[in-house]
Amino acid sequence: MSGPLARSALLALAAIVAVTWACSRRVAPPRPGESHDAHVADAEEACLDGWLAAHGMDPFGSPEGTVYGGGSPLFDEQTGRSVTRTEHVYRLHPEARRACASDASKP
């Protein structure tokens, strides 16, 4: 196999390996001065970034190249309410929560 198809297959495989690594690695103890919750949140963000990349999505869980009115899908201009990026992505992609959430019992 050669050409664009082989390149796509290699990129897909590399993305799968990256997500598997990011989502399955053990969370090391926090560094001095860092809270455990912040440390776990950083690991969850890294896993989520890898999961989104492996699925060809932008940082907000939409297809790459999506343009947002107002610059971000995290703020609803009509209601004035904001959500975190992880809440937004997990609402769109529950499978990402199963792969990356530090507490799978979160709604």
Q: Check residue 93 and report its DSSP letter.
A: -
- The H or E element containing residue 21 is helix 4-24
CB 50 within 8 A of CB 23: yes
pLDDT of residue 12: 61
pLDDT at position 83, please?
94
| pLDDT at site 39 | 58
pTM for this prediction? 0.61
Q: Hey, which residues does 2 pair with through a beta bridge? A: none
* Residue 85 pLDDT: 94
CB contact at 8 A, 86 and 48: yes
Q: Which residues of the chain have pLDDT under 70?
A: 1-2, 4-40, 102-107
Q: What is the pLDDT of residue 9?
A: 61
